[in-house]
Amino acid sequence: MTSLTKAVELLRAGRLVAFPTETVYGLGANALDAAAVLRIFEAKGRPLSSPLIVHVDGIAMARELASEWPAAAEALAQRFWPGPLTIVVPKKPIVPDVVTAGLPSVGLRMPAHPLALELLRAAGIPLAAPSANRFTQLSPTTAGHVRAGLGDAVDMVLDGGACSVGIESTVISLVGGRPKILRAGMISQPEIEAVIGPVEVGSGAESPGQHPRHYSPRTRIVLGDSPPEGRGFRLDNSNMPGDAAAYAAKLYRVLHELDTAGYDWIAIAPVPDSPAWAGVRDRLRRAAADVS
């Protein structure tokens, strides 16, 4: 039995399979099986008030889950799928309420990783899949990160190598009035507006990743100047790329490595204040948030 065949059997049996996407590794379960989806929340220690993104193998599967598929959704999917863009639309009753935290909308995404797409097509079902880590902790970008973070809480880890994008998808809501970007990512506001016109930027319960402290290592993160006390490491222009996409692809891997080094703090130099860097800025701000 191949690893893919085993993963499909587990998913169809209501079990949890971690799999690679181009953004981060996801913790997947059959999105149409409420009991299976509950296992995701239990494994992550994730509150039921935080909705999950559903991964699909294409537009046809997305339309099967959406009660409305507006022209803007079609245009964005045609332009950016497969890719790191999650589109929030009204859901059909077939999508269990546990997936969407009781909301009438669902976030849908077609991942741009060949193994993820092969898994989705072989399974023939949509997969609810948040990042394969404990809730609010640093997202995994390798199979090793998943095993270290979740241990035996996951039934299987499909190893597809390192993730190429490195941070979570952009989330845009098409529910209600003007389209709104709820979570920044590596598909920027100008890129989206070039396809569907003006969009708002904000937050909303329809999107995951809205907790004040999120994407965070155990080691204290400091933005800006290095603290005078303790032993630490400074991330700056000398050890991180100057390009937004390359920086994002490297960020979580570096933080995972530094998190095991016994530092008291990790200081991170400011990144540019431009649309291309919005996703990186969001992750850094949340990683450094003090919610004590």
Q: Give the confidence band of 216 by pLDDT, cuts at 50, 70, 90.
A: confident
CA 82 to chain centre: 14
In the prediction, which pLDDT does 214 show?
66
| pLDDT of 212 above 70 | no
Tokens of 287: 């990683």
Q: How many CB atoms lie within 10 A of CB 291?
A: 10
| pLDDT of 292 above 60 | no
In the prediction, which pLDDT does 205 show?
66
Tokens of 292: 């004590």
| pLDDT of 204 above 80 | no
Instruction: Characterize the bridge pairing of strands 220-223 and 200-201.
Output: unpaired
| pLDDT of 252 above 80 | yes
What would the DSSP string read from start to end of the chain? --HHHHHHHHHHTT--EEE--SSS-EEEEETT-HHHHHHHHHHHT--TTS--EEE-SSHHHHHHHBS---HHHHHHHHHH-SSSEEEEEEBPTTS-TTTTTT-SEEEEE----HHHHHHHHHHTS-EE--BSSSTTBPPPSSHHHHHHHHGGGSSEE----S-SS-SPPEEEE-SSSS-EEEE--SS-HHHHHHHH---EE---TTSS--SSS-SB-SSEEEESSPPSSS-EEEE-TTTS-SSHHHHHHHHHHHHHHHHTTT-SEEEE-----SGGGHHHHHHHHHHH----
In the prediction, which pLDDT does 202 show?
86
Domains identified in the chain and CATH numbers: 3-201 (3.90.870.10), 220-288 (no CATH)
**Nearest residue to 128 (alpha-carbon basis) of 164, 91, 176, 183:** 91
Q: Give the confidence band of 237 by pLDDT, cuts at 50, 70, 90.
A: confident
In the prediction, which pLDDT does 164 show?
97
The overall pTM is greater than 0.75: yes
Enumerate the β-bridge partners of residue 267. 222, 234
Range 135-151 average pLDDT:
94
